[in-house]
Amino acid sequence: MVILFVTTTLIAILHSAQIVHIVHLNNVDASAVQFHNQDTLEQNLGAAVFALCLLVNLFSDLIIIYRMYLIWDKKKKMVIPPLIISFANHVFGACAVFITVPKLGDLETTKMKNKLEIVFFLVNLLLNLTVTFLNDMERNKECPKHVG
């Protein structure tokens, strides 16, 4: 939990630094809302923020999947598919960062980066909803045994 707190705080600091840098360069105007040329510092801060988001997300996924492992009486067959999906999704997210960051500033690359981020977050949302649903389903099965 401390790791989640520290990395989330670091994300907030880096994202704030990125925003201050953008404002300092006067890149905030009507056209900048949709697209603007990013300098190296802004690209690096953006990449660091997204990479830390990936890390926090990975820790969170591992916690929720471990919880699933305990709720489902340590059945490995229930945990392996979410683990594979989570790791594959995080590898995909990391590749998206490393592929697009060096070429940011190009409109097509920025559009591709945005699409890759959307895919990453949608897969992660579906994974978290599925794991939560399965955990809830198992707990609801166990509830009548304990209540009477």
Range of the domain at 21: 2-147
Return the number of other C-beta atoms located less than 10 Å from residue 24's C-beta.
9
Taking the C-alpha atoms of residue 11 and residue 101, their distance in angstroms, rounded to an integer, is 17
Tens-of-pLDDT digits for all 148 residues of the chain?
A: 677 778 778 877 877 777 776 666 665 554 444 444 556 776 777 778 888 888 888 888 999 999 999 999 899 999 999 999 999 999 988 888 777 776 666 778 778 878 888 999 899 999 999 999 998 888 887 666 666 5
Taking the C-alpha atoms of residue 132 and residue 76, their distance in angstroms, rounded to an integer, is 17
pTM (global) more than 0.85: no
What is the number of domains present in the chain? 1
